[in-house]
Amino acid sequence: MAWVEVCEAGEVDVEDVIRFDQEDRSFAVYRSDKGDYYATDGFCTHGRFHLADGLVMGKLIECPKHNGRFDITSGAAVRVPACKDLQTYPVKVEAGRVYINIE
């Protein structure tokens, strides 16, 4: 398991998202309206636009360019033009820091 440290837990607001780049890969790390952390690939599966500029609504992320939506808990595409699901990654919070497993 390749756990990578992302940020301090408080750096992601509730119902918000941040961008996290690791070498040539880019991720989006979210907090839902319940305060839980999730992570997915950073770019929308419809067009190459980063989801970290989008809007988190409950457990959904809306792409900033075409308003496609994904469920951040499962990566499922739930609104067109997004049709292909996002890859999700396990997230853990330890000692006040957020980690994602990018394997």
Partner 1 sequence: MAIVVQRRDYSLLGPESKQADEKGLASAQWHATPIPRARMKELMKRKDGPAIRDTLIWLGGLIILGYLAYLSWGTWWAVPAFFLYGTLYASPGDSRWHECGHGTAFKTPWMNDVVYHIGSFCVLRSATPWRWSHSRHHTDTIIVGRDPEIITARPPIWKILYMQIFHLYGGPIEIKRFILHTFGKLEEQEKEYIPASEYDKVFREARIYMLIFLAVIAACIVTGSVLPAMFIILPTFYGGLLVLTFGITQHLGLYEDVLDHRLNTRTVYFNPVFRFLYWNMNYHVEHHMFPMVPYHALPKLHEEMKYDCPEARPSLWAALREVIGALRKQKHDPAYVVVKPLPVTALPYRYGPELNDDLELTRSEA
CA 73/CA 36 separation, integer angstroms: 9
Q: Is residue 36 within the footprint of partner 1 (CB under 8 A)?
A: no
To partner 1, the closest distance from the beta carbon of 101 in angstroms equals 26
Task: Using CB under 8 A, pick the residue from 4, 9, 65, 74 that binds partner 1.
Answer: 65
Please say whether the beta carbons of 27 and 44 come within 8 A: no
CA 47/CA 32 separation, integer angstroms: 23
To partner 1, the closest distance from the beta carbon of 3 in angstroms equals 26
Residue holding tokens 């820091």?
Answer: 97
Residues contributing to the site for partner 1 (CB under 8 A): 16, 46-48, 53-55, 57, 62-67, 69, 79-81, 83
